[in-house]
Structure 1
Amino acid sequence: MLKANEIIYKSGIAFGTSGARGLVRDFTHEVCAAFTHAFLDVVSKTFKFTSIAIAIDNRPSSYEIAQVCAAAITQHGFKVEYHSVIPTPALAYYSISNNIPCIMVTGSHIPFDRNGLKFYRPDGEISKIDEQAIVNSTYEFLPVKELSSLQVKKEGADAYIERYSSLYGPEKLTGKRIGIYEHSSAGRDLYATLFEKLGAEVISLGRSDEFVPIDTEAVGEDDRLLAKKWATEFKLDAIFSTDGDGDRPLVSDEKGNWLRGDILGLLAAQQLSIHALAVPVSCNTAIEVSNQFHSIVRTKIGSPYVIAAFDQLIEEHSSVAGFEANGGFLLATDVKINSNLLSALPTRDAVLPALMLLVASTENRVSTLVNALPQRFTWSDRLSNYPSQKSQKIIADAVESPESFLAQLQLQGLSCINVDLTDGARFILSSGDIFHLRPSGNAPELRCYTESNDERKAKELVELVLGKINGL
């Protein structure tokens, strides 16, 4: 017999800001089974259910991992509902609607040589407490010996399309030309149908047979140039895309300029008439400056922290939501849209914020809506393959002596007026500019977020900070 916690510990795979992630080679059959059994051991102590839903992204390794998870589910005494390749929020919505747990096999935006597992209870994402219970589970199980083909259910995909296409009439987006940058997104076969049901003309763009690790917080220069080219060539009103598993949106204006995720989230929250927000500390301060919300709570980075902040807000406000700097939008309460009830979906979603922006842009172009916001600009990038231990030391030294760190960065004439340690270290400078350093929770990366009154300056500050750090 194998013991779940021992297998998980030896694997080196750990929970980060969103799910358990690691190298594909470390997701052995034993490890996948251990995580699955441990999850079921934990969730079955609180909830009653007979089946578990599974879906995957388009990574080459995802289907086999799903097969192992399915075998472990069957071993544990439950039925398997396999939804094949659909977005994470589509699987989560199906799971919550049917009061069953689910497992999403995805590494989100990280490179294809890595993968991951996201777990949902029947009422939504697992908590940090659940994560600890999973890695500490002593459940014993037999090795998985045979993998079976998985029979595909379409209900998850269909329910997700219906969730949003039913909010408005079939002419709501008539006249809109929307480009769908499909690449290898898990939702690429759903989005055209969804927007066409609302009357939009859809142009499919950039479908790839290879996995493309789109990071909505650090869009590559090639994708920036592509968006501008497509917007001009096809006379588009907007371009919609997502990361690998479809829970983080990437949306451009009519000129092909990609919107920052927190700006998209702010516009969507305004359109939804949200009263209270929970957002990570890394999000744009235009959220506060806009004076559009009764309450705003800043959290650590990661959807579990945003969700944890919902409980208190829901007690005090009738409409509550959250979003992250990556654009993933979390709806904490039911809301009325066009006299239709949209049920809560407290997990990152890419379609809702994009749809709200497109609806708002029926009267004003997307760029006009963006320009009407307080002009605070954010930028972000990362150092890849950068050891976490090295990141932690640099940040610790910087916090101990901010002025010495600014000198190392050659930011002459500036002082640090505050350091926010909510998550990583966020340095607020005397100029009003901000830079925020944070090691990734699930990859050897050091992320840098910046904010300024000038977009060019925000970008240059990221390049300066990461360039100098890389040379230390």
Structure 2
Amino acid sequence: MAEKLFGTDGVRGLANSHPMTAEMALRLGAAAGRYFRSDGANHHRVVIGKDTRLSGYMLENALTAGLTSTGMNVLLLGPVPTPAVGHLTHSMRADLGIMISASHNPFHDNGIKFFGPDGFKLSDAAEAEIETLVADGVEPVQPENIGRAKRVDEGRHRYVEFIKTTVQDVRLGGLKVVIDCANGAAHRTAPEALWELGAEVIPVGVAPNGKNINLECGSTDTRLAAEMVVAHGADVGICLDGDADRVMIIDEKGRVADGDQLMALMAGQWADAGSLKGGALVATVMSNLGLERYLDGRGLRLERTKVGDRYVVERMRQGGFNLGGEQSGHIVMTDYATTGDGLLAGIHFLAAMVRSGKPASALTQVFPTVPQLLKNVRFSAGQTPLEADSVVKVIAGAEAELNGKGRLLIRKSGTEPLIRVMAECEDEVLLSDVIDRIVAEVERATA
């Protein structure tokens, strides 16, 4: 049986350790190349982007070797956002797109995400077939059919131009914007796009050194950007993560709004304009209960999926919906993009500010949130703490206590060795007590 390599968002792990080794990247490249060249034709192409992690060079070269060994021609985009790879895969008529990134994780992790020729992430079935090819091995092509590789420097500029076309009726002149790029993939792209749209740009997190990606900056640590917004008297702050597929918004008072608030704003505005397809928003099981209540009050639906923006996109495509995302800041607008796009969502928030004439603070508090608490418990390889009888028992008791008062969600992370314990409840004392009891029992099971 083939080894399970893919998680909720590609293959991911500690750089230079299995599966994030140069050898595995070469094998993945060869397997993906063979899968997408199954018709045997020549002149197939793949685009590869990456974020700013030190290990990106190693994985980029190894992937290129594997891909060219199967006859794929490789176009190297350099550091670009994940959504740029999705866009350019389709725009450049490539057969495959690859992003080298571990998204919001620290620099010592890395990952490999695959996009099909339509610019969307691969299905579970396609990933399973690639895993089989990795396990079985792939025969290289004849010497005369080996692929070529070349740098494509204009990739990020093409993406910026595309982003600007999505808000053609808006100029951002007069807006002072703090943009935190997390020392990641958008460190050039995002400030350029905002400046070209007319904003006064105050950049943060735009000096990557290979090791400082997501370090005390970006969407997972908004403190620096919030301080900059207040210190500079900025109108708004936009915080991206390392590969720029997530966004958090900071209002002029330094308060942070997550993906739920941004989705609520867009869903309401799109519904008013008659452009929200299917009368629904697609989000994951992690989205706040307050969002669901807000949508109900507007006569709209919340369609919930498993955690992971790929599952959000799958449901959107199945149901014909055009707006979805995650509380963590993945905002998916399939009228424009094939995956979560933090910069795109941030610019559309700025457009909403311009069109309404309202400050950021008036647009980021769309609904009152139900108190929500999330704690993580790390576990070691081979451990299955959620199967322990004592853990099952305490979870069942907690669910009974929360019945009719809130909800409980416990799951394994798809990107890190963590058990995520989350609950929502109006009674914050009960909320804290329930979470603490479950976390303590899970920790005992992993000791």
Shorter-chain TM-score above 0.5: yes
Q: Is the 8 A contact 1:172 1:199 kept in 2?
A: yes
* Code of the aligned partner of 2:194: F
Alignment of 1:11-160 (within 5 A): 14-25=5-16, 26=18, 27-45=20-38, 50-100=44-94, 101-123=96-118, 124-137=120-133, 138-141=136-139, 151-160=150-159
User: Which residue pairs with 1:423 in the alignment?
Assistant: none
User: Which residue pairs with 2:255 in the alignment?
Assistant: 257
Deviation at residue 116 of structure 1 after TM alignment: 1.0
* Code of the aligned partner of 2:21: T
Q: Is the 8 A contact 2:50 2:101 kept in 1?
A: yes
Deviation at residue 139 of structure 1 after TM alignment: 4.0
User: Which residue pairs with 1:277 in the alignment?
Assistant: 281
The range that moved more, 195-204 or 152-161, is 152-161
Deviation at residue 270 of structure 1 after TM alignment: 3.2
TM-superposition CA deviations, 1:91-121 (whole Å, max 9, x none)? 1101022231111111112222221100011
Q: For 1:20 and 1:401, how far apart are their aligned partners in 2?
A: 33
Secondary structure of the residue aligned to 1:382 is strand
* Code of the aligned partner of 1:50: H
Q: For 1:256 and 1:453, how far apart are their aligned partners in 2?
A: 25
Q: Is the 8 A contact 1:381 1:462 kept in 2?
A: no
CA shift in 2, pair 1:158/1:385, >3 Å: farther
Q: Is the 8 A contact 1:213 1:243 kept in 2?
A: yes
User: Which residue pairs with 1:212 in the alignment?
Assistant: 213
User: Which residue pairs with 2:226 in the alignment?
Assistant: 228
CA shift in 2, pair 1:66/1:435, >3 Å: same
CA shift in 2, pair 1:217/1:162, >3 Å: closer
User: Which residue pairs with 1:354 in the alignment?
Assistant: 346
CA shift in 2, pair 1:93/1:282, >3 Å: same
TM-superposition CA deviations, 1:6-64 (whole Å, max 9, x none)? 7xx3xxx7211101112212233321111112122223337976210001111100112
Q: Is the 8 A contact 1:218 1:381 kept in 2?
A: no
Deviation at residue 142 of structure 1 after TM alignment: 6.0
The range that moved more, 385-394 or 250-259, is 385-394
TM-score (norm 1): 0.79
Task: Give the count of matched residue pairs.
Answer: 420
CA shift in 2, pair 1:65/1:375, >3 Å: closer
Q: For 2:385 and 2:216, how far apart are their aligned partners in 1?
A: 20
User: Which residue pairs with 1:184 in the alignment?
Assistant: 183
Choose the corresponding residue for 1:321, options 316, 320, 323. Answer: 323
* Code of the aligned partner of 1:22: G
User: Which residue pairs with 1:310 in the alignment?
Assistant: 316
CA shift in 2, pair 1:403/1:29, >3 Å: closer
Secondary structure of the residue aligned to 1:371 is coil
* Code of the aligned partner of 2:325: F
Q: For 1:202 and 1:122, how far apart are their aligned partners in 2?
A: 34
Q: Is the 8 A contact 2:398 2:434 kept in 1?
A: no
Q: For 1:284 and 1:264, how far apart are their aligned partners in 2?
A: 12
CA shift in 2, pair 1:236/1:357, >3 Å: same
Secondary structure of the residue aligned to 2:181 is strand
* Code of the aligned partner of 2:121: E
Q: For 2:215 and 2:293, how far apart are their aligned partners in 1?
A: 30
TM-superposition CA deviations, 1:360-389 (whole Å, max 9, x none)? 223222222233424435454433456573
Secondary structure of the residue aligned to 1:154 is coil
Secondary structure of the residue aligned to 1:96 is helix
TM-superposition CA deviations, 1:376-407 (whole Å, max 9, x none)? 3545443345657344236x75555545457x
Q: Is the 8 A contact 2:180 2:217 kept in 1?
A: no
User: Which residue pairs with 2:198 in the alignment?
Assistant: 199
Give the number of the structure whose residues are more often strand, by fraction: 1
CA shift in 2, pair 1:142/1:257, >3 Å: same
Name the % identity. Answer: 26
Q: Is the 8 A contact 1:57 1:185 kept in 2?
A: yes
* Code of the aligned partner of 1:36: G
Q: For 1:104 and 1:64, how far apart are their aligned partners in 2?
A: 13
User: Which residue pairs with 1:246 in the alignment?
Assistant: 244
Q: For 1:471 and 1:431, how far apart are their aligned partners in 2?
A: 26
CA shift in 2, pair 1:453/1:19, >3 Å: same
- Stretches of structure 2 that go unaligned for 5 or more consecutive residues are 142-146
Q: For 1:202 and 1:461, how far apart are their aligned partners in 2?
A: 44
Q: For 2:380 and 2:438, how far apart are their aligned partners in 1?
A: 11
- Stretches of structure 1 that go unaligned for 5 or more consecutive residues are 335-342, 407-413, 418-429
